A and B are shown apart, each in its own frame.
Chain A
């Protein structure tokens, strides 16, 4: 039972354009969401997070949007750069205080120069 889903395994975007990565979750108890970027054979790098009390959080080129009613979050990268090419994972944390993260399956982003 995949509680966090990223339905697009891959995405290609032209350099300078916007990249939109999507993530859906099923558990309404999740209250904290994160996006990580991962290169092959490396650990994930934290990008941005959002609490369930907000619907938007912005950090430079990265913006995360949260739609609680739809149980959906998205990551916008604008403008996209070739160095953004990587696998992006969304993660969700339950309210129980265990601090555990449940990861999505990842979306491979390729930014074309």
Chain B
């Protein structure tokens, strides 16, 4: 089965601290793309970061970085120096063989001022 699992329905973090959102997935493929998307209350889906499975180096975009563990099929998102504007739903997604995205259920991130 092609699934993406986000086990944390909701997470909260103090402003300026670091938080990690977890994502695991199931696949028998060796090469694929993984993404983290952010969806604020405006409901627009924004691409945060992407990881190509054949690359061993973890992707980084400013305060956002991933911990990609291919053997464990784990793809967690770390947000450093959390800001109020980071409050949103975060979705993990994986490209499958027909080039479509399989989505996780999402994690709601709350930033405490």
A and B bound? no
Name B's A-contacting residues (CB within 8 A).
Answer: none
Name A's B-contacting residues (CB within 8 A).
Answer: none
